Amino acid sequence: MNVLFVVCGEGLGHTSRCLHTARYLEEHGCTCHFAAYDTSFRFLERQGRQRLHRTPREVTLAGDNGFFTLSGTINDSKGVPVNMYRSYRMVQDLIDANHIDLVIADTMYAAVAAGRRKGVPTLFITNQNTFCTLSGGSEAAWKALGKMVSSFFSLPDAIVIPDFAPPDTISGYNLTITDQVRDKMRFVGPMLSIDREAYPVSQETIFASFGGEAFKIPLYHLLAGIAGRRKDLHFSVFSNADGLPPAAANFTPHGFVPDLYPHLAAAKVTILHGGLTSLHESLFFEKPVVVVIDPHHPEQGNNARMIEEMGAGVVLRGDRVTADALEEAIDTASDLRPPGMCHLFEQQDGRVGMLRVIEEIL
């Protein structure tokens, strides 16, 4: 079976979970193609993926001083209609040229429409159809977007939620399950591929990753300042964007690394931006997390809310964070003991769940 993954390139969480899933499907006889753009395309290229195709982006995320802005994103995404049409046509061409039997779109809307048009079974991966920010701004725009996304859910053959089933859903506050979409939604579990025995766990560093967007770079400079006065903390930070602070005795910046898990397993505390995949990875290794949320980005705040409620982390609003507050949060998180979720990861393997959904719809 020929499978086409069409992957959102805004951040690497989408890419990571699709890559894990594709490798699993290939172990079960599938041939997997990827269509991606920007950071996602470069990441897959560095991973040595074959059958990799470049596709137009559908939206351009914009930020200011480390944080997402809806107005900037709207301004930078004026070409969305044209880009979506280009993406739609390209996916159709890829379906024809590669005899695609199944399209899996991770938050890429035009790909679903293209698959539907071609009569090819289509799955849509998402963990959000509700948009509500902590900042209180642009709520009308977010509500309109939520309605648009919910109406779109009628198109794919199934909607795949890469998260634990209720009541353990980390992204639960981002989802509204209505009668209209209930029968299509499939909670398959986190899409990870981690051998616990391959990564010895220790508590040595402060691991930090805020995603691949360049506008997050100021947050790394804040951490470098803390490292300068806290010689007892050893920071290991990661970003594919340019502009990371220089290395110091207790501050190690990393660009692309083929495998983050050795670094994550060695962490005492993780500092993350609240994306679902990175939170799953932190929970897998039972690491307490400091979530520096973007107050204008609905998904992150809602994921962080669940993390805090389950006693797995500390949440800071990024627009109000100071070096002192972040330093205090690191110390607080160091004393937390996240709940053991080993049984859930074993019982709800998202890759296995995805294969089950594929077998169900074909």
- Tens of pLDDT along the chain (362 residues) come to 999 999 998 778 899 999 999 999 999 999 999 999 988 999 999 999 999 999 987 765 544 544 445 444 444 445 567 888 899 999 999 999 999 999 999 999 999 999 999 999 999 999 987 755 554 444 555 555 555 666 678 899 999 999 999 999 999 999 988 888 889 999 999 999 999 899 999 999 999 998 766 667 889 999 999 999 999 999 999 998 889 999 999 999 999 898 999 999 999 999 999 999 999 999 999 999 999 988 777 788 899 999 999 999 999 988 888 999 999 999 999 999 999 999 999 999 999 999 999 999 99
CATH number of the structural domain spanning residue 110: 3.40.50.2000
144 and 133 in a single domain? The answer is yes
**Full domain range(s) for residue 297:** 196-343
27 and 135 in a single domain? The answer is yes
88 and 219 in a single domain? The answer is no
53 and 165 in a single domain? The answer is yes
Q: Is the dihedral of CA 154, 155, 156, 159 positive or negative?
A: negative
The predicted pLDDT at position 60 comes to 55
What is the number of structural domains in the chain? Answer: 2
The predicted pLDDT at position 324 comes to 96
119 and 266 in a single domain? The answer is no
189 and 282 in a single domain? The answer is no
66 and 146 in a single domain? The answer is yes
Pairwise CA distance, residues 14 & 6, whole Å: 10
126 and 251 in a single domain? The answer is no
